[in-house]
Structure 1
Amino acid sequence: MRRVLIYGGTGGIGRATADALRHRGFCLHLAARDRSRLDAAAAELGETTVTAGDVTDPDFFAQATAEAGDALAGLVYAVGTINLRPLARLTRADAEADFRINALGAFSAIQAAAGALKAGAGEAGAGVVLFSTVAVAQGFPAHASVAMAKGAVEGLALSLAAELAPHVRINVVAPSLTRTPLAAAITGNATLAQGIAAMHALQRLGTPEDIAGLAAFLVSAEAGWITGQIIGADGGRSMLRTKG
C-alpha cells in the first residue's frame, strides 16, 4: 500500500490531512513530538505507524524516514509556528526559531526522504506538500518573522521542485487564518475572529478540513501534472477585496 510520511500529523491541519489521505486509501507514518498523541492518532486512523521526536533535532528526520520505509508515495510537512510580534518586540532568537521549525525543518524532511520518495514515485511522481501563509503574498503588520520563514519555504519548494523532477512533485499550500490549536489565541477571541473573517471574501475563517482536502489532492496521483505551485487556500484574502 502507498505510504505517506506526515510531520505534525496529530492535530490541526496535519491531522486533518492524515484523515483525508486515509480516506483516499493511503497508509501513513506520523512523526511528531508527543508519543501519546501519536499512538492515539494511529489507533484512530488505522494502517498508521509513528516516530516520536522533535523537528529541531537534526537526527529526527533520518529516523522518521527510516521507520517510514524504503518507498514513500508522499510527504507532508505540517509543522509550523505563529509568532506574531511587531519588529521592536522580536528577537534574533525568535526569528531563528521560526526559521528552524518552518524552513529548515521542511528542508531536512525532504532531504532525508528524497531517496524513498524517488523509490515510491510511481507514474504520477511522489507528492510533497509544504505549508506557507497568506502573509507572504500580503504584507501584514507583526508578521515579519513568520512571513520571512514561510517565504523561505516557498523558495525551497520551487528550487527542489525543479531539482527533484520528474520523480518528485513539490507544491505549497498557503492558508489564511485557520481555526487550529496553533491559532487558538486569535480564533478564540470571538470579536477578533469575526473582524478577521470579515476581511475575507467568503466571510469566514478557514477550517483544517478546508486545507486538508487540497493537501491530500496534491499528494495524490490526481495532481500528477502539478508541481512547483504556491496555491492559496485563503477564502479569497490574497486576491480579492471584500464588498464592504
Structure 2
Amino acid sequence: MNKNILLIGGSQGIGRAIVELLQEQYSIFVASRTKNGLQETSITHITFDVLSGDLDLSLLPDRIHGFVYCPGSIDLKPFKMLSTKTFEDDMQLNFFGLVKVLKAIMPQMAEGSSMVFFSTVAVNTGMPFHTSVAASKGAIEGFAKALAAEYAPKIRVNVVAPSLTDTPLAKRLLSNDKKRETMAQRHPLKRIGQPEDIAHMVHFLLDTKSDWMTGQVLNVDGGMSSLNMN
C-alpha cells in the first residue's frame, strides 16, 4: 500500500530534507506558504499559512499514514528584552498552530499511523536566552505525551528535539565562520546539525521499524543534552 505523509512546512530547512528523503517511498503532501521549488518534485503542494488560514482538507487523501509538523521559531534574547507578544507569537506558531491542524486532520489519520512533532534541546537543557522558544516547545512535549496516551494503539506520537541545525531559520546564529565554529565546539560531536541528521530520525519514526515506540522525546543534538565535556 502506498502510504500518504502530510507535512506542515516542507519547502525549506529540515522539512525540505524530510521531503527529499521520503518522496521515493511515500506519497507526500506538503502544506506551506511557498512552494520554493517543490513544484519540480513529485509531491503535492497545498498553499497554507498555519497562522492565518485553514487547511483545505479536500486536497488531502482520505487516509493519512504519517504527519509531521515542521514550523518553528528561534527568537533568542534575554528575558528582559522579550515582549509578552513574542511569547504569544511563539506559542501560536509552535503549539496552537499544531493543535489547529490536528483538530482538522484527526478523522483522516489511519489506524497504525505515526505523528512527529519538533521540540528543542533547550527544553531538556536549560539555556540562557531561550525562555520563549523553550516555553512553546515544552508545551509540545507535554501535549505529545498526553496525545500518545490518548490515541494508543491507533496512532503513535513522538517528538524530535534537535540542537542547532544549519537551516535558514538559524542563519543569524551561523552568519560567519567564527560563529559556526563556536557553535560547533559547544557540541560534544564538534559540529552543528545538518537537516539530513534530523530527517533520518523522522524517517525512522514514520516507518514501521519504530512501531513499538510512542510518547518519546528523542534528542538529536550532537550529545548536547546528555554529555558534559567541560
- Report the TM-score range of the alignment, normalised by the length of the smaller protein: over 0.9
State the secondary structure of the residue aligned to 2:23. Answer: helix
Please say if residues 107 and 156 of structure 1, whose CA atoms lie closer than 8 Å, have aligned partners that are also in contact.
no
- Provide the TM-score with structure 2 as the length reference: 0.96
- Matched letter for residue 201 of structure 1: P
Shift of 1:177: 0.2
Please say if residues 72 and 116 of structure 1, whose CA atoms lie closer than 8 Å, have aligned partners that are also in contact.
yes
Shift of 1:188: 1.9
RMSD, aligned CA: 1.2
- Provide the TM-score with structure 1 as the length reference: 0.90
What is the count of residue pairs matched by the alignment? 229
> Alpha-carbon deviations, 1:167-214, whole Å to 9, x = none?
110100000000000001111232122112111111000000000000
State the secondary structure of the residue aligned to 1:60. Answer: coil
State the secondary structure of the residue aligned to 1:187. Answer: coil
Matches of 2:17 and 2:204, distance apart in 1: 13
Please say if residues 38 and 45 of structure 2, whose CA atoms lie closer than 8 Å, have aligned partners that are also in contact.
no
> Alpha-carbon deviations, 1:43-95, whole Å to 9, x = none?
22x1x2121121112x423x2x4312210011000111111111111111111
> Alpha-carbon deviations, 1:129-172, whole Å to 9, x = none?
00000000111111100000000011111111111111110100
Which stretches of structure 1, 4 residues or more, deviate above 2 A after TM superposition? none
- 2:47 maps to 52
Matches of 1:188 and 1:216, distance apart in 2: 29
Please say if residues 134 and 174 of structure 1, whose CA atoms lie closer than 8 Å, have aligned partners that are also in contact.
yes
Matches of 2:101 and 2:209, distance apart in 1: 23
- Matched letter for residue 28 of structure 1: I
Pick one of 21, 30, 40 that aligns with 1:43: 40
Unaligned runs of 5+ in 2: none
Please say if residues 83 and 145 of structure 1, whose CA atoms lie closer than 8 Å, have aligned partners that are also in contact.
yes
Asked whether 1:79 is paired with 2:71, we answer: yes
Q: Percent identity?
A: 39
Asked whether 1:240 is paired with 2:230, we answer: no
Range with greater deviation from structure 2 (200-209 or 102-111): 102-111
- 1:113 maps to 105
Matches of 1:13 and 1:146, distance apart in 2: 17
State the secondary structure of the residue aligned to 1:76. Answer: strand
Q: How does 1:186-205 map to 2 (within 5 A)?
A: 186-205=173-192
Please say if residues 29 and 68 of structure 1, whose CA atoms lie closer than 8 Å, have aligned partners that are also in contact.
yes
Matches of 1:43 and 1:196, distance apart in 2: 34
Unaligned runs of 5+ in 1: none
Shift of 1:239: 0.2
- 1:26 maps to 26
Asked whether 1:97 is paired with 2:89, we answer: yes
Please say if residues 177 and 205 of structure 1, whose CA atoms lie closer than 8 Å, have aligned partners that are also in contact.
yes
- 2:200 maps to 213
Matches of 1:224 and 1:205, distance apart in 2: 29
Asked whether 1:222 is paired with 2:219, we answer: no
Pick one of 164, 181, 198 that aligns with 2:151: 164
Which structure is higher in helix share? 1
- Matched letter for residue 67 of structure 2: L
